[in-house]
Each structure stands twice: as structure tokens, then as C-alpha cells.
Structure 1
Amino acid sequence: MENKRDGRQRRNISPGDAVRIVLKKDQRTGKLTDGIVKDILTNSSSHPHGIKVRLADGQIGRVQEFIEDA
């Protein structure tokens, strides 16, 4: 079984992480956007739809998965 970090747990996310997020406008389609975490916006320790973050380019969305270094 893969040891994947869970984007619904705040403790798994740090500024500088490479992640894929779903933007508010893309929630219906599930389209993911890649980026680097700048700020963590969710204050609670977990969120069922993913922790909300701001990317380095200013886009805001919920973490769906992590981009691991190959």
C-alpha cells in the first residue's frame, strides 16, 4: 500500500509543498491545478473536502493530492 499524504489533514501540508488543488470554479468538473503552497487558509485540523490553500501564484483551492518528486 502506498504511503500517500492526506490533503484533508492540515498537519500534512506545509508552505513549499507541490500540490494539486481543485479551484472553486472547477469543483463541478474536478479539474486539478498544480502549484506550490504559499499559505494554508483552513484553520481547523482537517476538512472533508481538502485543506484550503493559497498557491504561490495567488490561486486558492482545496488540496486533492500531493505531487511527489519522481
Structure 2
Amino acid sequence: MQEYHVDPFPEVVEEPTQLVTAVFSHPLHGRLVERLILWVRPHLDMEGERYKLTWWGNGVAYYEPVSR
């Protein structure tokens, strides 16, 4: 390997320590749905709809729709 070469595929891959469940209302029928996410973000785009984070704790993140 060259001195300045960076391997794009390192052998060690760190897995997330805990998966987070995102809870949000479905854009068509309005019922609450759950999806696993790796990271909690302030905004989330799912199924063509944008959501904002309202609360997060104990591995569950609650999102509400954002009006565009």
C-alpha cells in the first residue's frame, strides 16, 4: 500500500450501539407507524413527507409532519 493511500473499505466497521425507532403519522391514513433509523436527526423525510423531531428518549424518536 502506498504511503498516502486511504483504503475506502476499512476492515473494521463499527455498528451502531442502539437502533432508534422513529414514530410518525402516515401521510395517507394518519395512523402511527414505526421505522428503524440509525441516527436521530432534527428532520426526517419518509414516503415523500417531511417530519420534524418533537421528542426523543429511550430509543424512540417522535416526529410530526411539517407543512410545506
TM-score (norm 1): 0.26
Which of the two has greater helix per residue?
A: 1
Higher CA-based Rg: 2
Which of the two has greater strand per residue?
A: 2
